Structure 1
Amino acid sequence: MDAQRRNAIIALGSNLGDRVATIAQAANEIADLGGTVLLSLSPLYESAAVKPDGVDLDAPEYLNAVVLVNTDLPPDALLMELAGIEQDHGRERHERWGDRTLDLDIVWMDGVELTSDHLTIPHPRAHERSFVLVPWTDIQPGAVLPGHGPVAELAEPVRRELRRFEVVV
């Protein structure tokens, strides 16, 4: 892919450690990536942990947000940078959808439809994830998820699965 500038939505999630600090630090680290500008950070939302077998009420709850960035990084390079940020925050990959200090996913990139062994854009489960759809609607109300339609319409029926998380300072 060429090095043209594109907007992208990146989902951030954490259910271990100081979730608020981790999300804030990760957003700053994304903003500091070369060739990348942070355009918007959504409000924080809390949600139950989702595992391959469904919702796990015994697992710590997730804190979630999304960021809108403008970047000249191609998708694979952006993915590698995000994996480095996850690793810097102690991310360990022992089980699929396991508890984690930080999870960063490229949800959407303007004009990019890509399927490879390690990356699919748009994210293949974005259309069913309240913790992606609701915060995405907050920062990009007119967004459209290719193949699924307006993000605001997708978010409406799942909005009740989340709680807005207010940071007390």
Structure 2
Amino acid sequence: MLCLPKLKLNCAHIRTIYMSEAVFAKKYEPDLNDPKTLELHKLYRPERVTPTEKGYKLISTSRINKKLLDDPLYIGLRRNRVRGPEYTRLLDNFMKAVTKKFGRDTLIQFEDFAFQNAYTLLDRYKNEYCTFNDDIQGTAAIVVAGLIATTRVTKVKLSQSKIVFLGAGASQQ
């Protein structure tokens, strides 16, 4: 369960907010004529994802360079990114504003945050907000789901299985 049991959140009513330090995820545009896509569309209920325009970020604290600052089409703040206590205050204020606006059952995904920030943020907010970082928690969730599915197909208990893991994954920088 992605939600924190301590917060007693109902995952069926979760609204998702994506935050990115790097590249914002592309807007989901399903082909509703495809039966498989239609089923996924119903399952994941993208209407619960707060929409943004393709390519835009809700918040960006990634590095900024001169080329970007000089780009007339750049719509962000034309200043160096915040770090340290100012960064922490920015995110604290964002977290409070999101839950005030959308409710305590809002899942906030930290997408493509710098490795050192990702763990710090998950730890900082774990007891107060419903947060998720795909780079850190997503791989584990998929592995566990795969292992559970394997036991159902093979009828072999996990404790009786031999499992080999190869590679550290992208988040082990």
Is the strand fraction higher in 1 or 2? Answer: 1
Normalising by structure 1, report the TM-score: 0.31
Is the helix fraction higher in 1 or 2? Answer: 2
